[in-house]
């Protein structure tokens, strides 16, 4: 069986239809080729398969057991190395599988928890170093997490041996976290100090915080002078935490005692609108000295409201339905709070609200399956679109309106003439739909489930993956993020490669794409704030912490991503002004790679920066200055750095 046929069968195994899926799995089982076994290893533990058809998953799982062909055993181990799937590790342990190549065998032992044997097979750490140099970021992250969990000195030695300062730019975030944690635990703070001058400034500040917390100081007088200056600058910068970097300045806006239902930031970042369960809707200006106003709860729903793309009009839903002259929604001047228009009509219980991206239409989808339209900003009725069961979600772009319904129907209509363009069918209730700029459609169920992608040229959808909680997408549709079993899964090019983000920041149930697709935010994790990743490479950008053990439940941002508003479980609403993008970017460049002209540009920005940004610029400038002094930087020795 050729590899392209294996790929087709693997795609069928993830598609809808039990008979079609099981036939594909059986053909792969009969093939008994390495490529087929690797595909079955993915299918057996795919949430999209085992949650919909446990029989198909069992068939795939059984094909992974009792293997006596060395090529097939290697294929199972290769699949584990490629995915890091924990349940596949259990299969390898239970069946006693070992890879035929010693280096691969060592890495498999390391990841499955047999660390002593892994170190015996790879005493120099060369195999683990090869993972860092050649494997994808998902496997590298899993190796780093395991190294930190077992305090693997061998992994540190393999990582640091012979590495020049410039090559520290190649390390990914989990590797930096593991490196700092292991060196701190083993008491090698002299190495942490040397890494300060090789790490990106954001990581260097965290290393300095660790050294400060430990009360460590260098023995050499010149180094002590450097450390004292850098330590004091780190203390002065509120952005540097022990295990995080906060590239933003917060302003507390209000606290809602009754709980927060929704938060919306005006696209231009001028105002934030907060739905308070007890007191209605609060509008706050984000400019210094800006005023605010409140809509009482009896006049508007705290669950559904929206701001027009020009940031001038606020639309609120009024919960009075089924009467021809009932007030359905109201338009407000966002800045002054003046009522502009009252929208009436026989609308059923509203399930979804949408303002089209061009700001021309307001759409309300109700429980009868109808979508009611009004023109903006006049508030004049533009008719209703009927068909389908209760509306569950809405999306719009480029003159097309999409409605998802509770029976799984997805309707695509042209707004100007209400023409039905396509009728699609999803497996179960539709929770969210996306219209990527490049065309096609993406749909997912409420609270997760299978993620389906329709291409304009294909009649059948493609099952991209399985989401446990939230799904979001970049505007161009080239990257989708879902919350998976083990972290955040990034799908690129609508079904091509995938990447897994792990760690505390990836534990949140909610995801959001900010800054026109440049940032990914993960939040709603117990005791965590908001973690930001820079797209498309998914490098950690920073953290917006939540205080006192609270977690962030709601997040909204301006169109450019420069203003982010969060609401936590205590009801506290905070506006975060993200630092200038150039200041943030410099924090992730390896210190050894920073050029003098970049530092001069940083200093030239000082007049436009906030106090925390200026403190950060001072710290980066001092790091660069001491970098050029005759201090030990990096780890250029050829032998082991740890005993």
Secondary structure of 184-239 in the HEC alphabet? HHCCCHHHHHHHCCCCCHHHHHHHHHHHHHCCCCCCCHHHHHHHHHHHHHHHHCCC
Contact 401, 385 (CB under 8 A): yes
- To the nearest 5 percent, what fractions of the chain are helix, strand and coil? 35, 25, 40
DSSP state of 117: H
The beta strand positions in 559-623, using DSSP E, are: 563-568, 572-578
Contact 104, 126 (CB under 8 A): no
607 falls within a domain: yes
For residue 308, pLDDT beyond 60: yes
Q: Averaging pLDDT over each range in 390-394, 423-427, 472-476, 497-501, which range is the top one?
A: 390-394
User: pLDDT at position 641, please?
Assistant: 58
Looking at 412-416, 454-458, 583-587, which range is the least confident one? 454-458
Res. 163 pLDDT band, cuts 50 70 90: confident
Averaged pLDDT score across all residues of the chain: 87
What is residue 126's three-state secondary structure?
A: helix
Res. 524 pLDDT band, cuts 50 70 90: confident
Residue count of the chain = 643
User: pLDDT at position 86, please?
Assistant: 81
Looking at 147-156, 236-245, 556-565, which range is the least confident one? 236-245
Res. 249 pLDDT band, cuts 50 70 90: very high
Q: How far apart are CA 374 and CA 383, in angstroms?
A: 7
CA 108 to chain CA centroid, nearest Å:
28
Res. 633 pLDDT band, cuts 50 70 90: very low
User: End-to-end distance of the chain based on CA atoms, in angstroms?
Assistant: 50
For residue 636, pLDDT beyond 60: no
If one compares 50 and 614, the residue with the highest pLDDT of the two is: 614
For residue 414, pLDDT beyond 50: yes
Contact 451, 471 (CB under 8 A): yes
Contact 447, 431 (CB under 8 A): yes
The tokens 């700001």 sit on which residue? Answer: 359
For residue 198, pLDDT beyond 80: yes
DSSP line for 491-550: EETTTS-EEEE-SGGGG-SEEEEEGGGTEEEEE--TT--EEEEETTTTEEEEEE--STT-
The whole-number average pLDDT for the span 293-319 is 89
- What Å distances lie between residue 563 and 41, 155, 173, CA to CA? 43, 40, 25
Whole-structure pTM value: 0.86
Strand-pair category, 498-501 with 260-265: unpaired
40 falls within a domain: no
598 falls within a domain: yes
Q: How far apart are CA 512 and CA 557, in angstroms?
A: 9
Backbone φ and ψ for 365, nearest 5 degrees, come out as -105, 130
197 falls within a domain: yes
55 falls within a domain: no
User: pLDDT at position 349, please?
Assistant: 84
If one compares 307 and 425, the residue with the highest pLDDT of the two is: 307
Checking 215-224 for CB contacts under 8 A at 24+ apart, the result is: 216/189, 218/190, 218/193, 222/629, 222/630, 222/631, 223/193, 223/631, 223/632
For residue 486, pLDDT beyond 80: no
Q: How far apart are CA 209 and CA 292, in angstroms?
A: 39
For residue 546, pLDDT beyond 70: yes
The count of structural domains within the chain is: 1
HEC string for 18-59: HHHHHHHHHHHHHHCCHHHHHHHHHHHCCHHHHCCCHHHHHH
The whole-number average pLDDT for the span 311-334 is 81
User: pLDDT at position 325, please?
Assistant: 63
User: pLDDT at position 637, please?
Assistant: 44
User: pLDDT at position 630, please?
Assistant: 60
What is residue 91's three-state secondary structure?
A: helix
318 falls within a domain: no
Res. 554 pLDDT band, cuts 50 70 90: very high
What is residue 320's three-state secondary structure?
A: coil
For residue 495, pLDDT beyond 60: no
242 falls within a domain: yes
The whole-number average pLDDT for the span 110-132 is 88
The whole-number average pLDDT for the span 427-434 is 88
If one compares 463 and 231, the residue with the highest pLDDT of the two is: 231
Residue 615's domain comprises 188-247+581-634
Q: How far apart are CA 393 and CA 463, in angstroms?
A: 20
For residue 494, pLDDT beyond 80: no
Give the helix/strand (H/E) hosting 293: strand 292-295
**Rounded percentage of the chain residues whose pLDDT exceeds 70:** 94
116 falls within a domain: no
pLDDT tens profile 16-57: 578 888 898 999 999 989 999 999 998 888 776 776 788 888
User: pLDDT at position 265, please?
Assistant: 97
Residue 505, burial from CB neighbour count under 10 angstroms (0-12, 13-18, 19+): buried
What is residue 143's three-state secondary structure?
A: helix
């Amino acid at each position: 069986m050729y590899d392209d046929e294996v790929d087709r069968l693997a795609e069928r195994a993830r598609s809808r239809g039990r008979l079609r899926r099981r036939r594909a799995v059986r053909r792969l089982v009969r093939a008994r080729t390495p490529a087929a076994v690797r595909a079955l290893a993915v299918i057996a533990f795919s949430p999209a398969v085992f949650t919909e058809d446990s029989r198909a998953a069992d068939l795939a799982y059984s094909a992974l057991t009792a293997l006596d062909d060395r090529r097939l055993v290697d294929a199972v181990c290769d699949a584990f190395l490629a995915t890091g799937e924990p349940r596949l590790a259990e299969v390898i342990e239970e069946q006693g599988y070992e890879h035929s190549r010693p280096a691969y065998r060592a890495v498999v032992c390391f990841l499955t928890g047999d660390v002593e044997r892994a170190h015996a097979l790879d005493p120099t750490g060369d195999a683990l170093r090869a993972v860092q140099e050649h494997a994808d970021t998902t496997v590298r992250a899993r190796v780093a997490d395991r190294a930190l969990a077992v305090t693997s000195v061998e992994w540190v030695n393999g990582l640091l041996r012979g590495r020049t300062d410039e090559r520290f730019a190649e390390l990914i975030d989990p590797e930096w976290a593991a490196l700092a944690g292991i060196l701190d635990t083993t008491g090698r703070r002299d190495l942490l100090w040397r890494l300060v001058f090789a790490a990106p400034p954001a990581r260097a500040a965290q290393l300095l915080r660790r050294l400060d917390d430990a009360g460590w100081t260098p023995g050499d007088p010149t180094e002590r002078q450097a450390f004292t200056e850098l330590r004091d600058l780190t203390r002065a910068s509120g952005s540097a935490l022990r295990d995080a970097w906060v590239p933003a300045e917060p302003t507390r806006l209000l606290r809602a005692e009754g709980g927060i239902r929704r938060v919306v930031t005006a696209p231009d970042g001028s105002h934030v609108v907060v739905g308070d369960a007890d007191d209605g809707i609060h509008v706050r200006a984000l400019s210094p000295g800006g005023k605010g106003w409140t809509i009482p709860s009896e006049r508007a729903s705290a669950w559904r409201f929206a701001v027009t793309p020009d940031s001038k009009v606020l639309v609120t839903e009024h919960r009075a339905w089924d009467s021809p002259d009932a007030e359905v929604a109201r338009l407000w001047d966002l800045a002054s709070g003046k009522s502009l228009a009252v929208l009436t009509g026989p609308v059923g219980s509203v399930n979804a609200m949408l303002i089209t991206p061009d700001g021309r239409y307001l759409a309300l989808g109700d429980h009868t399956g109808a979508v009611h339209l009004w023109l903006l900003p006049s508030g004049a009725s533009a008719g209703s679109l009927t068909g389908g069961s209760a509306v569950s979600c809405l999306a719009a772009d480029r003159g097309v309106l999409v409605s998802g319904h509770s029976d799984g129907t997805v309707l695509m209509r042209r707004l100007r003439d209400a023409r039905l363009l396509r009728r699609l069918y999803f497996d179960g209730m539709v929770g969210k739909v996306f219209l990527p700029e490049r065309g096609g459609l993406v749909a997912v169920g409420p609270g997760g489930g299978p993620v389906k992608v329709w291409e304009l040229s294909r009649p059948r959808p493609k099952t991209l993956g399985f989401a446990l909680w939230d799904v979001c997408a970049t505007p161009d549709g080239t990257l989708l993020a879902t919350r998976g079993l083990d972290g955040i899964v990034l799908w690129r090019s609508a079904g091509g490669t995938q990447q897994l983000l792990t760690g505390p920041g990836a534990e949140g149930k909610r995801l959001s794409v900010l800054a026109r697709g440049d940032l990914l935010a993960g939040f709603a994790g117990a005791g965590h704030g908001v973690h930001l990743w820079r797209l498309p490479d998914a490098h950690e950008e920073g953290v917006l912490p939540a205080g006192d053990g609270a977690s962030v439940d709601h997040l909204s941002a301006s169109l450019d991503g420069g203003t982010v508003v969060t609401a936590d479980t205590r009801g506290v609403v905070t506006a975060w002004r993200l630092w200038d993008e150039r200041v943030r970017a410099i924090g992730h460049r390896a210190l050894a790679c920073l050029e003098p002209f970049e530092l001069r540009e940083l200093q030239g920005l000082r007049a436009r920066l906030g106090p925390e940004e200026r403190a950060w610029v001072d710290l980066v400038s001092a790091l660069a200055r001491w970098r050029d002094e005759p201090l030990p930087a990096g780890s250029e020795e050829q032998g082991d750095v740890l005993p």
